[in-house]
Amino acid sequence: EAGVAQSPRYKIIEKRQSVAFWCNPISGHATLYWYQQILGQGPKLLIQFQNNGVVDDSQLPKDRFSAERLKGVDSTLKIQPAKLEDSAVYLCASSLEYSGVIDTQYFGPGTRLTVL
Amino acid sequence: DAKTTQPNSMESNEEEPVHLPCNHSTISGTDYIHWYRQLPSQGPEYVIHGLTSNVNNRMASLAIAEDRKSSTLILHRATLRDAAVYYCMLRTGANNLFFGTGTRLTVIP
């Protein structure tokens, strides 16, 4: 079974530029998560989708971050414009069902973003 | 306010048991305790989860204190492949989850 795919793996941009990350979850997984992981910290949940609907985006800085999951499969996370403090690894995860507190999340390898 | 507290780092000799502690003194009755680990340049990997009772699976055991204010992840025989950052995570509801800062485990051959 293929795992969660993410691209690109690395991205370097100047501040105020835009950037987009792509995620392809495990086939059949209904729930998709985007996390931000700053160096030395644990992952921080940004947004959670159930199929193509947003379950929670309370931690997403909506003035510059946006995400979508068209057709309930692939997802894109965008930052526009980027700031220096956005430098981090952006992780995508998926889980089989919207079973709440006990579902196992499967993570992709992440995209390392550096903002200069 | 940090919801989980973990030591920054721990060391273990290869083939010895490892006990990784997590303090979650503000846990509520419906919070599940999850553990994930992250190898270098990879995304986190699920290890184990529990609510009140101790749990075992092929990877590890989870011991949960009676008052649930702390838990311990137990690796029964550490191998070099177990060297990773181990995260304790609390989850209340489907969309309320919090990862701690993690413990970096070094396994000494």
Size of interface A-B (CB pairs under 8 A): 55
Neighbours of B46 (CB within 10 A): 19
H helices present in chain A, as ranges: none
**Residue A57's pLDDT is what?**
92
Whether B43 sits inside 8 A of A110 (CB atoms) is yes
Q: Report the percentage of chain A scoring pLDDT > 70.
A: 96
Of B86 and B92, the one with more pLDDT: B86
User: Is residue A53 less than 8 Å (CB to CB) from chain B?
Assistant: no
B94 vs A contacts (CB less than 8 Å): 48, 55, 98-101, 103
d(C-alpha A52, C-alpha A65), whole Å = 17
pLDDT tens, residue by residue, A21-50: 999 999 999 999 999 999 999 999 999 999
A36, A90 in Cβ contact below 8 A?
Answer: yes
Q: What is the pLDDT of residue A20?
A: 98
Q: Is B43 in contact with A108 (Cβ distance < 8 A)?
A: yes
Distances (CA, A) of A85 to A4, A14, A94, B40: 26, 12, 26, 22
The residues facing A75 across adjacent strands are: A23
Peptide bond into A8 cis (omega under 30): yes
Q: A55, B94: Cβ pair inside 8 Å? A: yes
Closest chain A C-alpha to B66 CA, distance in angstroms? 20
Q: Which two tokens stand for residue B21?
A: 């502690």
Task: Tokens 């550490």: give the residue.
Answer: B78
Q: Which residues pair with A63 in a beta bridge?
A: none
Alpha-carbon gap: B44 to the closest alpha carbon of chain A (Å): 6
Name the average pLDDT for chain A: 93
Q: Does A25 touch chain B (CB under 8 A)?
A: no
Distance CA B104, CA B82 (A): 10
Q: Which of B45, B49, B99 sits opposite A42 (nearest CB)?
A: B99
Q: Tokens standing for A41?
A: 């910290």
Residue A69 CA to residue A53 CA, distance in Å, equals 8
CA dihedral A41, A47, A48, A54 (to 10 degrees): 170
pLDDT confidence bin for A15, thresholds 50/70/90: very high
The 10s digit of each residue's pLDDT in A62-80 is 999 999 998 889 999 999 9
pLDDT tens-digit readout, B43-83: 999 999 999 989 999 889 999 999 999 999 999 999 999 99
A27 backbone φψ class: left, alpha, beta (φ>0; ψ -120 to 50): beta
